[in-house]
Each structure stands twice: as structure tokens, then as C-alpha cells.
Amino acid sequence: MDTIHSFTPVWIILTSAVAALLIALLGRWPNLRESCIFVAAAIKLGLLLSLAPAVLDGKLYEFEVMELLPNVGLAFKVDALGLLFALVSVSLWIPTTIFSIGFLRPLKRHAQTRFFFFFTIAISSAVGVAFSANLLTLFIFYEALSLSTYPLVTHHQDDDAIKGGRKYLTYLLGTSIAFALPAMIIVYQQTGNLDFANGGVFASGTSTALLAVLLVMFLFGFAKAGLMPFHAWLPGAMVAPAPVSALLHAVAVVKVGVFSIIRVLTGIFGVDLLANTPSLSTIVCVLAGITLIVASLIALTQDNLKSRLAYSTIGQLSYIILGVGLATKIGVAGAALHIPMHAFGKITLFLCAGAIYQACGAKRISEIHGLGRKFPLTMTAFFIGSLCVIGLPPTGGFVSKWYLLNGSLDSAQQWAFAVFLTSSLLNAAYFLPIVYKAFFAAPTDAARLDKAKEPPLLTIVPLFITSAGCVLLFFFSDKLFQFANTFAEMYTAQ
């Protein structure tokens, strides 16, 4: 495997950290402050794209900053999956920032500088997770992300926000300290190695019981992935302002959770080990399968729009985990592909929810009947986002679900096929009625609709960008599939 020694990964992480510093200093001048974000995002995106050709060629960018423990350092490695995830996070950061400006300024929200500061730190941490070369580095950035998003979740600083924030930290810090940390130390004690590598770190002959215990500890330890029963923080985190829910709780934070689980399954355990030890693969698939179905069923019952979206996210995250758990090449590729596809779909939905809230203050689905006739563009974007999450053409979600279904047929866990299909039906059942009622049902609260005013342009434009993204991803899915496939080949080849 070719590796390129390069400092670029560190620069990419640092650009947003430097931007955060500037944001803190420029708090008095909002325009200057926010232009920092765009400049940083553009530089970051440019640097990320400059890495793409070599990475798609199967090469790796590596850089070790320093050694932290014998044989384990603060080290970065850029492979196809990491680059894909970083690209998704950073490219969605731009529309979200536009949205944030449109969302926060007219409402005269307090502490906007603090908001943008921690938002930027969170993006840095997410990219740090994406580029981590070993489990310890990943853990460091994972915790940094938990801590830096806490001020965002509690942004409103009222009782609900404090309660949500408390739940958020209890679940995320609690599980990572109680499960992921000891599991990681046991792996280190057993193998002396925490690097992500094809084939994992365990010597052959490691007892399956130990592996199973470690596996469960990792699956629950990275609770950002929302595996049940450690999912309740995500609906609780919906007290955060809309842009936070959109980028962090549909893309960066939750995807960091599944990303960590993918890294552990492919790089620490190894896909071959999973494939050859059916009990391990079954554990992953059953836990993910249960979450998938149960979360979709709960989503059906939610009237609060953001809660329904949150439960939908919990279900969709388990698609990815289930895909990797299948331990087939196509399954892994499909799982990797589902990261960007779901990200674009879900962020569109959350931005729509934010725009709706801003236009008429509605938080509940029962309050937005008839809204589609007043705001056809917003609800059309919502419709496209729903299609993407359900997995219908012509949106990107179709492609990733296609590969996931294929992967399940290839594997020993063929029942997963039925789970995927059932869940997709449920997805349709909880999304399409919203769209239908928005366009065709009689308004429940006509007075509210009359009062509603068009949301500012800055909150509408991002919706177009991301919903257009959902459609474009369908037509250019081969580009993304290259990333997913390069990763799957690297980690499933003998």
C-alpha cells in the first residue's frame, strides 16, 4: 500500500481551528466574523479535493504528530472513507453557515459569536475523527466533539435546553467513558496496537467471547451512532437551534458515531474476522436491525417535526452499521455510500424544519397542514429530502440503498434484506403524509398561515443547494461510489 507522508491533513484540521480563533476575536464585527467561516470552508474544501486523486488511486496520506503511548501516536491517515466523510461534512458546512446567518440574525439571537466559535470547533473535531489513524486519536477528537457541541445544544439556556444538554452529555460522555475507553484499553493491552489496518489488530485464536464483549462495548460506547438503547440523547438534543440540528445532529455528530463504528469494525476487528465468525457479525446485524425497525416505528408516532426527523436519523444510522455488519464488500461500500446520501437528504429536511419554524413558528406536523400552498418551494425541498431518505429515485438515497440490499443478499445474514425493505416502507409511511398534508389538506390553523411571512432568502437558498445536491448525487453517484469502493476494496481484500 502506497503511503504519502504529508502535513496537509493537519492543515485541513487546523484551518477551521484557526478560523475559530478569528471568530472569537472578531465577535464585534459580524460580517467579518462570518466571512472567516466561508474563507476557512473554501480553503478546507480545496485542500480536501487536492487529496482526492491520489486517495482514489489507493494511496494513503499519513502524518504522525507525536507519540502519546508506546506504539500509539497522535497520528492522521487519509483514506477514501475518511476523505469522503470530511468532504461531506465540509461541503455541507457552507450551506449550513448561510442558513445560520439567515436564521440567527433576524431573530436577534444572543451569543452568536459563541455559537459560531463552537460550531467551527465541532467541524474541526469531526474532520479530526475522519482523519484519525488509530483508535486513540479518534477517541480524542470524538470527545472533543462531544464537549464542543454541548454549548450548542444548550444554546437557548432555558430549562428545556439545560435538560436536553444534561441528557446529551450523560449519554455521550457516559457511554464513551464507561464502554469505549475500557474496550480500547483492553484492545491495547491484548495487542499493543490501535492502528486501523486491513485485517484488524487481533491475533488469530483470540477468544470469541472476549471479541464479542469488546464488540458490544464498542457498539454502545460510540453512542453518537444512536444504537438502541443509547439513542435517547438525539431526540433530546433537538432543543438546539435549527442549524445545529441540521449539520451536527444529521451529519457531523451522528455520522462521527457510525464512522467510529465502521473504523472499529473494519480496522480493529477486520471484515474477514466478522465474516468468518458468524456470531460477531450476527451481534452487529441484530442490534442494528432492531434499532432500524423500532426507530422507524417510533418515528411514526411523533408529532413534533424535529423529533420525527431525529428518530428517522436513528433508524438511518443503523442502515450504515447493518451494512458494515454484513461483512461483504458490497455491503461495506453501500454503508460508506449511505453516509453522504443520508447526509444530504436529512440536512435538507432539517433546514426545511428550521425554515418552517422561522416562517410561522410551527414545530408540530399537525400545525403545518396546508403550508405547501403558501410555501411551495420549501415543501418541495422537503419532498426531495424525504425521497432521498426513503431511497427513491431520482435521489442519491436510492443508490446507497441499492448497494445495501445487494450486500445483504451476498452475506450470511439474508434476513437483513427484509429488514431494509420493511424499514424503507416505514420511512415512506412517516414522511410522505407530511408532504401530502402540507399540499392537499385543509389548514388546521388558517390564521397562523395568514400571518406567516416568507423566510429570509438566506434561509431558503441553502435548501435549494442541498435538495439539488440530493438529485445530483443520483446522477453522479459513480463519483462517490469510487470513494466507497476504494475503501471497501482496501479493507476487504485479503
**3-state secondary structure (DSSP) of residue 3:** strand
- Binding to another protein by CB under 8 A, coded x per residue (else -) over 145-164, reads --x--x---x--x---xx--
- Which one among 10, 54, 166, 417 touches another protein, defined by CB under 8 A? 166
DSSP state letters, 76-140: EEE-HHHHHHHHHHHHHHHHHHHHHHHHHTTTT-S-HHHHHHHHHHHHHHHHHHHHBSBHHHHHH
Site for another protein contains 67 (CB under 8 A): yes
Q: Kindly identify the residues of this chain, within the stretch 99-118, that bind another protein according to CB under 8 A.
A: 108, 110-111
Site for another protein contains 74 (CB under 8 A): yes
The nearest distance, CB 186 to another protein, in angstroms, is 5
Torsion region of 155: left, alpha or beta (phi above 0 gives left; psi -120 to 50 gives alpha): alpha
CA-based nearest residue to 80, from 492, 417, 456, 476 = 492
Please choose, out of 143-151, 248-256, 262-270, 462-470, the segment that lies near another protein by the rule CB under 8 A. 143-151
Q: Please write down the long-range contacts of 271-278, taking CB distance under 8 Å and 24 or more positions apart.
A: 271/324, 271/327, 271/332, 271/491, 271/492, 272/199, 272/200, 272/327, 272/492, 272/494, 273/199, 273/200, 273/202, 273/211, 274/325, 274/327, 275/327, 275/328, 275/412, 277/208, 277/211, 278/412
Site for another protein contains 186 (CB under 8 A): yes
φ/ψ of 61, rounded to 5, equals -95, 130
The nearest distance, CB 157 to another protein, in angstroms, is 5
- Which one among 5, 28, 66, 204 touches another protein, defined by CB under 8 A? 66
Question: Closest CB to another protein among 210 and 446?
Answer: 210
Question: Closest CB to another protein among 184 and 219?
Answer: 184
CA-based nearest residue to 127, from 28, 210, 9 = 9
Q: Which residues are within 8 A (CB) of 294 and not within 5 positions of it... i.e. 6 or more apart?
A: 228
Q: How far apart are CA 388 and CA 381, in angstroms?
A: 11
Helix, strand, coil % over all residues of the chain, rounded to 5: 75, 5, 20
Site for another protein contains 140 (CB under 8 A): yes
Q: Say if residue 5 is exposed, middle or buried (CB neighbours under 10 Å; 0-12, 13-18, 19+).
A: exposed
Question: What type of residue sits at position 347?
Answer: I
Site for another protein contains 207 (CB under 8 A): no
Site for another protein contains 364 (CB under 8 A): no
Question: Closest CB to another protein among 113 and 277?
Answer: 113
Site for another protein contains 28 (CB under 8 A): no
Question: What type of residue sits at position 399?
Answer: V
The nearest distance, CB 108 to another protein, in angstroms, is 8
Site for another protein contains 181 (CB under 8 A): yes
Alpha-carbon dihedral sign for residues 494, 208, 143, 69? negative
DSSP state letters, 250-270: IIIHHHHHHHHHHHIIIIII-
Question: Closest CB to another protein among 167 and 369?
Answer: 167
The nearest distance, CB 201 to another protein, in angstroms, is 15
Site for another protein contains 189 (CB under 8 A): yes
Site for another protein contains 68 (CB under 8 A): yes
Beta strands in 182-284 (DSSP E): none
- Which one among 21, 24, 52, 169 touches another protein, defined by CB under 8 A? 169
- Which one among 4, 10, 56, 178 touches another protein, defined by CB under 8 A? 178
**Three cell numbers at 318?**
443503523
Q: How far apart are CA 435 and CA 441, in angstroms?
A: 10
Question: Closest CB to another protein among 224 and 374?
Answer: 224
Quick check: 448 and 360 in contact, CB under 8 A? yes
- Which one among 56, 173, 275, 428 touches another protein, defined by CB under 8 A? 173
Question: Closest CB to another protein among 260 and 281?
Answer: 260
Question: Closest CB to another protein among 164 and 270?
Answer: 164
Question: Closest CB to another protein among 14 and 68?
Answer: 68
User: Burial code of 197-207, b = ≥16 C-beta within 10 A, e = fewer?
Assistant: bbbbbbeeeee
Site for another protein contains 201 (CB under 8 A): no
Site for another protein contains 268 (CB under 8 A): no
- Which one among 32, 39, 107, 177 touches another protein, defined by CB under 8 A? 177
Torsion region of 376: left, alpha or beta (phi above 0 gives left; psi -120 to 50 gives alpha): alpha
The nearest distance, CB 13 to another protein, in angstroms, is 14
Quick check: 23 and 117 in contact, CB under 8 A? yes
- Which one among 61, 118, 139, 403 touches another protein, defined by CB under 8 A? 139
# binding residues, another protein (CB under 8 A):
32
Please choose, out of 170-178, 249-257, 322-330, 411-419, the segment that lies near another protein by the rule CB under 8 A. 170-178
Question: Closest CB to another protein among 47 and 140?
Answer: 140
Site for another protein contains 210 (CB under 8 A): no
Site for another protein contains 182 (CB under 8 A): yes
Site for another protein contains 479 (CB under 8 A): no
| Element housing 25 (H / E) | helix 8-25
Site for another protein contains 212 (CB under 8 A): no
Helix axis angle, 396-410 relative to 376-390, nearest 10°?
10
**Interacting residue ranges for another protein, rule: CB under 8 A:** 66-70, 74, 108, 110-111, 136, 139-140, 143, 147, 150, 154, 157, 161-162, 165-166, 169, 173-174, 177-178, 181-182, 185-186, 188-189
